[in-house]
């Protein structure tokens, strides 16, 4: 049984699913539905000895920040995320990515013991530009962009979307004013 909801405002903040959600919206012009690519990033955790006390960021690489070191509150370290263009949502962590991690980490931490690196987890970035097509920033599309009253679409909210979430929320409210 179809359900009809009547709302004053509709904020599409469906992350990776935001573009797909608009597919059946005939009332939204096709030009307002961007193409989206998937860029998976995996993490490896480290169970060996270390003396890191802070995060370590190498120079960024195209499409991402590069494999960096994160320290959790218990002092455990993990490395990632890397960047891999994929066709569909798939959160598996392939063991064969480990060799590239070892190379990347050893550039700034030669003492790394590869045997202590284990696959951890994966995340997927919703990208608005594909491989080799540069960088596209977040899209916060409101009525001034697409002409539909009360609608805001959030597209391509990848990192640092979490850090920027309060500023994004302010911007959404602004678009609806």
Euclidean distance between CA atoms 162 and 106, whole angstroms = 29
- Judged by CB under 6 A, the chain residues 158 through 177 that form the site for ligand FAD are 158-163
CB of residue 31 vs ligand FAD: minimum separation in angstroms?
A: 22
Q: What are phi and psi of 69, to 5 degrees?
A: -105, 130
Q: Is 15 in the site for ligand FAD (CB under 6 A)?
A: yes
Q: Is 43 helix (H, G, I), strand (E, B) or coil?
A: strand
Q: Is 115 helix (H, G, I), strand (E, B) or coil?
A: helix
From candidates 63, 81, 142, 156, binder to ligand FAD by CB under 6 A: 81
CB of residue 162 vs ligand FAD: minimum separation in angstroms?
A: 3
- Judged by CB under 6 A, the chain residues 83 through 122 that form the site for ligand FAD are none
From candidates 19, 22, 36, 41, binder to ligand FAD by CB under 6 A: 41
* Residues 139 and 155 sit within 8 Å (Cβ to Cβ): yes
Number of residues in contact with ligand FAD, rule: CB under 6 A?
19
Q: Is 156 in the site for ligand FAD (CB under 6 A)?
A: no
Q: Is 21 in the site for ligand FAD (CB under 6 A)?
A: yes
**C-alpha dihedral sign at 88, 89, 94, 100:** positive
Euclidean distance between CA atoms 140 and 155, whole angstroms = 7
Q: Is 154 in the site for ligand FAD (CB under 6 A)?
A: yes
Cα 63 to the center of its chain, rounded Å: 10
**C-alpha dihedral sign at 112, 114, 118, 121:** positive
Nearer to ligand FAD, 10 or 113 (CB): 10
Q: Is 157 in the site for ligand FAD (CB under 6 A)?
A: yes
- Which residues are at the interface with ligand FAD (CB under 6 A)? 13-17, 21, 41, 81, 123-125, 154, 157-163
């Amino acid at each position: 049984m179809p359900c009809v909801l009547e709302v004053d405002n509709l904020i599409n903040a469906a992350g990776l699913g935001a573009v797909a959600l608009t597919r059946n919206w005939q009332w939204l012009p096709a030009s307002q539905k961007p193409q989206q690519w998937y860029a998976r990033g995996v993490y490896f955790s480290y169970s060996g000895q270390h003396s890191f006390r802070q995060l370590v960021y190498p120079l960024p690489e195209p499409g991402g920040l590069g494999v960096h070191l994160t320290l959790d509150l218990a002092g455990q370290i993990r490395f990632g995320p890397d960047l891999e263009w994929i066709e569909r949502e798939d959160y598996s962590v392939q063991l064969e990515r480990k060799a590239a991690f070892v190379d990347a980490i050893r550039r700034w931490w030669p003492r790394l013991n590869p045997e202590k690196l284990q696959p951890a987890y994966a995340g997927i970035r919703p990208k608005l530009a594909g491989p080799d097509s540069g960088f596209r920033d977040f899209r916060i599309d409101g009525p001034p962009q697409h002409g539909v009253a009360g609608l805001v679409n959030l597209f391509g909210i990848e990192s640092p979307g979490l850090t920027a979430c309060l500023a994004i929320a302010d911007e959404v409210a602004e678009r609806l004013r």
